[in-house]
Amino acid sequence: MKILIVSDTHAKHGNLDYVLEQAGSIDLFIHLGDVEGDEEYLDAVIECEKHIVRGNNDFFSRLPREEEFDIGKYHVFITHGHYYYVSMDVDTIIEEARSRNADIVMFGHTHKPYFSQKDGLTVLNPGSLSYPRQDGRKPSYMVMEIDEEGKAHYEQKYL
């Protein structure tokens, strides 16, 4: 099972188009917010199951604020992240993820890729495909794969 994880495209989907083409067949698409009006576009181009949450710039969007769902044996919590002060540190979002019994928490907002695994909790941010802010400023996204034993593998990708 192949999962494409992106965030913070901010109404600019050229890089997303490219990534979708590169990724080929995917089983699940996750967008962690700040689509800025690209909801219809995403509906049109993404054929598989998708989870998209609302970012701090999605003012009039009807997207859900955050979501919880399962990917195989993993309980997943997705949120844009600004409610949990992710620009400061990941302490609050980790606390929230643990209170929801999540195995994986995914967020965006900072436009910087992040990945950590500690005490059974995976915390990740794919970075931004449109406006990257980490050193080097390469647009980034993440591919998650569930292998035949049901185990998750993660790959941070850059354009």
Binding site for Mn ion (CB under 5 A): 8, 34
Residue-wise burial string across 29-66, b where 16 or more C-beta atoms lie within 10 A, e elsewhere: bbbbbbbbebbeebeeebeeeebbbbbebbeebebeeb
**For Mn ion, the closer CB: 132 or 143:** 132
Residue 88 per-residue DSSP state: T
Nearer residue to Mn ion within complex by CB, 48 or 159: 159
Of 34 and 66, CB closest to Mn ion: 34
User: Residue 85 Cβ, how far from Mn ion at the closest point, in Å?
Assistant: 15
Closest alpha carbon to 159 in 145, 134, 146 = 134
User: Which residue is nearest to Mn ion, using beta carbons?
Assistant: 34
Q: How far is the CB of 153 from Mn ion (least distance, A)?
A: 27
In the complex, least distance from residue 149 CB atom to Mn ion, rounded to whole angstroms? 35
The CB-of-135 to Mn ion minimum distance in angstroms stands at 18
Strand partners, 79: 66
> Which CB, 8 or 38, lies closer to Mn ion?
8
| Rounded-to-integer distance, Cα 128 and Cα 3, Å | 16
